[in-house]
Structure 1
Amino acid sequence: MRLNALDWLAIVLTIIGAINWGLIGFFDFDLVRAIFGTRTLASFAIYSIIGIAGLYMIFTIAKQENREEAR
């Protein structure tokens, strides 16, 4: 599977989101909130972009599964 720039961006954002959730789960520390503040437009934008990246990764994985089944 050859990844394009959008795929790589989604992977990086998904990893960042996973790390943030890990920090919340293990240490009760929200990195996004610490950097951008609580309930700010920037924090909502970051959470939204990371959520979209996660949805894109679901689509990308499903697309790859369909390609492999076609072989």
Structure 2
Amino acid sequence: MKAINIITLILLIVGGLNWGLVGLFQFDLVAALFGAGSGLSRLVYVLVGLSALWQLVPLSRAMSGDTHVHR
């Protein structure tokens, strides 16, 4: 479970940095690297979205005070 949390956090950081670049400079790094509208770009966007959904679980546990880590 720890590995998937690290992977999803990295993807969320990548997504956040990409949105920061879009907002500040109108530059989409993912589209620049993989091609605008390409399958790889779409895959990265989907993985970032799924990562956000995955991270709702630890957030809800933290908000409820359940800090017990399940392995």
User: Shorter-chain TM-score: what band?
Assistant: 0.7 to 0.9
Consecutive unaligned residues in structure 1, runs of 5 or more: none
Report the Cα distance in structure 2 between the residues aligned to 1:24 and 1:56, rounded to whole angstroms: 24
Query: Tell me, what secondary structure is at the counterpart of 2:37?
Result: coil
Instruction: Flag as ranges the 4+ runs of structure 1 deviating above 6 A.
Output: none
Matches within 5 A, 1:12-31: 12-31=10-29
| Aligned-residue CA RMSD (Å) | 1.4
Consecutive unaligned residues in structure 2, runs of 5 or more: none
Give the match for residue 36 of structure 1: 34
Aligned residues: 66
Give the match for residue 57 of structure 1: 55
- Code of the aligned partner of 2:11: L
Task: Say which structure is richer in helix.
Answer: 1
Q: Aligned residues: percent identity?
A: 32
* Higher RCO, 1 vs 2 (CA within 8 Å, ≥6 residues apart): 1
Q: TM-score, normalised by structure 1?
A: 0.84
